[in-house]
Structure 1
Amino acid sequence: MLTLLFRSVALGCIALLITACTQIPQLVENTTIAYFDERGNNISKPSPRGSYRQLLKIQSNGYLVQSFFVNTNTKQTDPFIIHNKEDLTAIDPLSIDGFFVQWHRNGQKAGSGHFINGKRQGTFTEWTEQGTKWAEMQFENDLANGKANLWYEDGSKYIEGQYLAGKEEGEWRIWQQNGPIRFKATFVQGSIISAVDANGKPINLSKDDFTTK
């Protein structure tokens, strides 16, 4: 279930891009309402490497739910609100609202960010299973907008740049691991206008070299 936060940010740990719906059972508080395999697909019974979702409470503003890992019964998410009933069994609920926190299977925090009516708003952060922060981005109305940063697993800086209305804008930089800057690129509305290496020599780069979303 990891990566509701950045969705298509190159985060191998998150699979919330998949939306899978099943028939919703009769709703009873403090019961399991859905099972998912490790890829985020709906399944009819628990899978050792999968997860399950519980309905904690039916509220006036929606449904308070929480997801757990099957093999450990430890939390995969903190409790969160889903507004629409039809999203209760979806791995990527579109009507999520409020602050959302995800956890790795080993108990380390995986990611966090705020949603308003299913859209990302503000700062979204992701951590590795070792507890190191490795991605942080700003969103506005579900579009990347503002600073974007990625780090290597050892915590050293990897990528730094900025988005404007969902597109790369201005100067972006990539560092060597535990070392100096490898190269820089200037973007205008998502397109690379120019790029140089660490010595200022012009080079050819593609957007794939700056993948963050």
Structure 2
Amino acid sequence: MKTLVLIIGLFCLSGGAISQSMPAIYLNEQGEEVVPDSATHYRIIDRKTDAGYTIREHTINGTLLLRGTFASIDPVWRTGLFTWYHPNGTKASQVHFEDDEPAGVYVAWYENGKVRERGQFEEGQRTGRWVTVHRNGQKRSEGRYLYGRPVGEWRYYYDNGQLSAIELLNRAKGPALAFFNLDGSPFVGKLQRRQMPEFPGGSRLCWISLAAIPSTRATRAARASAVKCTCRTQLVRTAGWGRCGLYVVWPRRPTTKPGAW
């Protein structure tokens, strides 16, 4: 019964033009092809044009998750603009792909359409200045990346615009942190230890969150070889200031190529 409903839904989404698209590919949380009853979402690939294969990914109930273009489908090779969507239909994030790697400007939005994060990718790595923004439009953090790693001085802000912390990286003695209260005065209280809890909601919500993050060849290669991922959040909180980011921990493999997985 579930499979029948999915087939009917796919027919409606494509406007009945079955000949314009290939059969749906059903995927699990890890992006692996599975039978329909085990799928969490599915992918529709249109017939090839001069621009490549236009693809769309939907939740099982039909909600649009992703639009993009594959230059090749075996193996998958992404090219051009990719856009991820929130459940309410608004854009979640957007970036171009070159040679199957994110390249150029990356922008992420909240469900209300306001910018959440903005930065630059180069050869699949974060580079240059990156800025995150609170839901009310106030700047949340700003700093620079070099070859995918944060470097130099990073600044963090309360949602009222007041500076909450300064982090200095690449120091010989290790990173240095300075914290500030809401009134701008230095914070002198006891700091809490950094925690690395499991991703809130478990691995399923972790994988859903990953859908809005451009992956690299490293993450795809790990998925293809069934290497399990551990989703964790890094949380630092003190005097009302906090930083919370999504990290995907992949076991490294021996390699002779610097920076390769």
Task: Return the alpha-carbon distance in structure 1 between the equivalents of residues 26 and 111 of structure 2.
Answer: 23
Q: State how far apart, in whole Å, the 1-side matches of 2:71 and 2:144 are.
A: 31
Residues 96 and 116, structure 1, Cα contact 8 Å, conserved in 2: yes
Q: Does 2:25 match 1:34?
A: yes
Give the aligned partner of residue 64 of structure 2. Answer: 75
Cross-structure match for 1:65: 55
Counterpart of 1:148, as a letter, is W
Cα contact 2:54–2:67 (8 A) shared by 1: no
- CA distance 1:106–1:39, shift in 2 (3 Å): farther
5 Å-filtered alignment, 1:131-146, equals: 131-146=113-128
The structure 2 residue matched to 1:112, chosen from 94, 106, 109, is: 94
Alignment match, 1:3: none
Render the CA deviation track for 1:109-135: whole Å, top value 9, x for unaligned.
111001101111111111122323212
Q: Note the 1:165-180 alignment, pairs <5 A.
A: 165-180=147-162
Q: CA deviation at 1:176?
A: 1.4
Q: CA deviation at 1:192?
A: 4.9
**RMSD over aligned Cα atoms:** 3.2
Q: Distance in 1 between matches of 2:72 and 2:157?
A: 42
1:151 to 133, 136, 139: 133
Per the alignment, residue 86 of structure 1 pairs with: 75
2:22 alignment partner AA: T
Aligned 8 A contact 2:68 2:80 in 1: no
1:45 matched to 2:36: yes
User: Residue 16 of structure 1 corresponds to which residue in structure 2?
Assistant: none
Q: Distance in 1 between matches of 2:149 and 2:29?
A: 31
Stretches of 4+ moved more than 3 A in 1? 37-42, 59-62, 199-213
Cα distance in 2 between the residues matched to 1:47 and 1:127: 30
Instruction: Specify the SS of the correspondent of 2:75.
Output: helix
Answer whether contact 1:111 1:127 (CA < 8 A) is retained.
yes
When normalised by structure 1's length, the TM-score is: 0.68
TM-aligned CA distance change 1:212 to 1:156, over 3 Å: farther
- Give the Cα–Cα distance (whole angstroms) in 2 for the partners of residues 127 and 47 of structure 1: 30
Other structure's SS at 2:167 match = strand
Q: What percentage of aligned pairs have identical amino acids?
A: 23
> What whole-Å deviation, never above 9, does each CA across 1:45-76 have from its counterpart, x for those lacking one?
1679x3221121224664332223331x3432
Change (3 A) 1:67 1:32: farther
Residues 46, 52 of structure 1: 8 Å contact kept:
no
The structure showing larger relative contact order (alpha-carbon pairs under 8 Å, at least 6 residues apart) is: 1
**Which residue of structure 2 lines up, in the alignment, with residue 20 of structure 1?**
none
Indicate how the Cα distance of structure 1 residues 132 and 61 shifts in structure 2: closer, same or farther if over 3 A, else same.
closer
Question: SS state of the match for residue 120, structure 2?
Answer: strand
Distance 1:97 1:158, change over 3 A: same
Count of residues in Structure 1 that have an aligned counterpart in Structure 2: 176
Please tell me whether Structure 1 or Structure 2 has the larger radius of gyration of its CA atoms: 2
> How far off is 1:138 after superposition?
1.2
- Counterpart residue identity of residue 183, structure 1: A
Residues 1:157 and 1:80: Cα distance change in structure 2 (over 3 Å): same
